[in-house]
Structures are given as structure tokens and as C-alpha cells.
Amino acid sequence: MPQAGSQAAALPREGEGFDAQVVADASGLWSKMSGDIALRRMEHVGVTLTSTIQLIAELAGNWSTPEGSQLVQVIMGTAQA
């Protein structure tokens, strides 16, 4: 159960004063209901929920730089494959 792994890693970090972030679409789900409950539980204690593309965008910082432009090409190529 990958969502259980996300919870096991994220929930204690929030309690220790860290800002935990979980990439929600990178986790397999046992069922939709269990996934929804796990995400709600993590969000309730302050875990930041994000998506893969949102995380990549944050890491890129600025799509107009040469590096950001290269990243767009990689993402678009992956999406079309």
C-alpha cells in the first residue's frame, strides 16, 4: 500500500516541525477510498499535497530560461510517448 508508505513518512515529519510534501499522483492506491482518506489525513495535519507536474514546475522555477525550456521539451516528449 504505497499511500500507507507516504503517510508513514510524512505524518511524523510534520509532528517534528518539518514541512512535508507528498506527490499524490506518484503513489499507487489500494482503492480510491483508501487513497482519498490517506490524502485527507495528511492534508489535515499540514502535509502539502502536490502533483508530479507541479513539483517539476517548482523545481524549474522559470520556464523561460534555457534550462526551463529544455525541461518543457522533455515533459512534452514524455507526455506524447
**How far is Cα 24 from Cα 67, in angstroms, rounded to an integer?**
25
Confidence of residue 79 (pLDDT cuts 50, 70, 90): low
**How far is Cα 75 from Cα 57, in angstroms, rounded to an integer?**
10
Q: Is 40 exposed, middle or buried (0-12, 13-18, 19+ CB in 10 A)?
A: exposed
pLDDT tens column, 15-40: 677 788 888 887 776 788 888 888 88
Q: What is the predicted pLDDT for the residue at 21?
A: 83
Residue partners of 43: CB distance under 8 A and separation at least 6: 49
pTM beyond 0.85: no
Tell me which DSSP letter residue 26 carries: G
Alpha helices (H) in the chain, listed in sequence order: 2-15, 32-44, 52-60, 66-80
